[in-house]
Amino acid sequence: QSALTQPPSASGSPGQSVTISCTGTSSDVGGYNYVSWYQQHPGKAPKLMIYEVSKRPSGVPDRFSGSKSGNTASLTVSGLQAEDEADYYCSSYAGSNDYVFGTGTKVTVL
Amino acid sequence: EVQLVESGGGLVQPGGSLRLSCAASGFSFSTYWMNWVRQAPGKGLVWVSRLKSDGSSTNYVDSVKGRFTISRDNAKNTLYLQMNTLRAEDTAVYYCARGWYGSFDIWGQGTMVTVSP
């Protein structure tokens, strides 16, 4: 049950794109298509942005997209906006009915 | 409106106990797996536990096994987390979250648990 690895920070100017990686193992990210991504603003609860690797819940802008290759999943935010500045966490099913989150990435809009 | 509201947090001494509650509304609570997720101050999210819709199956992160118990009352649309033998490292905001397609789609606002002498 080790945390998935994310870069501590990422940044981009308004209108640019930023991609966040989430690296696990074949026992979690690589083994299942149950990778999800969450956005968390300071002092607020997390919000689901992507589920099942690349699906967007209703109401999430299509600027947010997800993908996976092997043991690494990625979240891309295109057309960065000021309100996208937040912490982002990935999560994966890890087998045996367990789940694991990533270490978190702080996205800064320059 | 779909909503989860946690309560029951507070200050407790090491070795003490606390029971958290999560009241659900706006959806068919009895048909969803439910989870607890915690976040220590300034730290990342950690999945803690999950419970099947009918209460028949439970899972826990290793660090709380044998100390925490998740349960639910579907008649009251409420999820619980009984926390015993609390340690300083259990200090965190505790969120309840609805399970949905391998993700957590609805979150409460969280309740703060502080374990300190």
Q: Does B95 touch chain A (CB under 8 A)?
A: yes
pLDDT for position A70: 97
Taking the CA of residue B15 and the nearest CA in chain A, the distance in Å comes to: 25
Q: Which of A27, A46, A90, A99 is nearest to B48 (CA)?
A: A99
At residue A96, the pLDDT reads: 84
The rounded distance, in Å, linking the Cα atoms of A110 and A54 is 26
Measured between beta carbons, which residues in chain B are less than 8 angstroms from residue A100? 47
Backbone angles phi, psi at A65, to 5 degrees: -140, 150
Q: What is the mean pLDDT of residues B82-105?
A: 97
pLDDT per position as a tens digit, B28-70? 999 999 999 999 999 999 999 999 999 999 999 999 999 999 9
Which residues, including other chains, have CB under 8 Å from residue B60's CB and lie 6 or more apart? Answer: B48, B49, B68, B70
Q: Is the pLDDT of residue A1 over 80?
A: no
3-state secondary structure of B63: helix
Contact check, Cβ <8 Å, B44/A34? no
Q: Which residues from A are below 8 Å from B35, CB to CB?
A: 99
B47/A104 Cβ within 8 A: no
Structure tokens at B29: 């609570």
Give the C-alpha distances (Å, rounded to integers) separating A4 from A51, B7, B31, B46. Answer: 16, 29, 29, 11
Given A1, A34, A47, which is nearest B61 (Cβ)?
A: A1
Predicted pLDDT of residue A22: 98
Secondary structure of B28-58 in the HEC alphabet? CHHHCCEEEEEECCCCCEEEEEEECCCCCCE
Q: Do B98 and B6 meet the contact criterion of CB atoms below 8 Å apart?
A: no
Residue B53 to chain A, least CA–CA distance (Å): 14
Q: What is the pLDDT of residues B100-111, one digit of tens each?
A: 999 999 999 999
DSSP output for A37-68: EEEE-TTS--EEEEBTTTBPPTT--TTEEEEE
Q: What is the dihedral of CA B88, B92, B98, B101, to 10 degrees?
A: -80
Q: What is the DSSP letter of B15?
A: T
Query: Could you tell me if B110 lies within 8 Å of chain A, comparing CB atoms?
Result: yes
Q: Is the pLDDT of residue A60 over 90?
A: yes
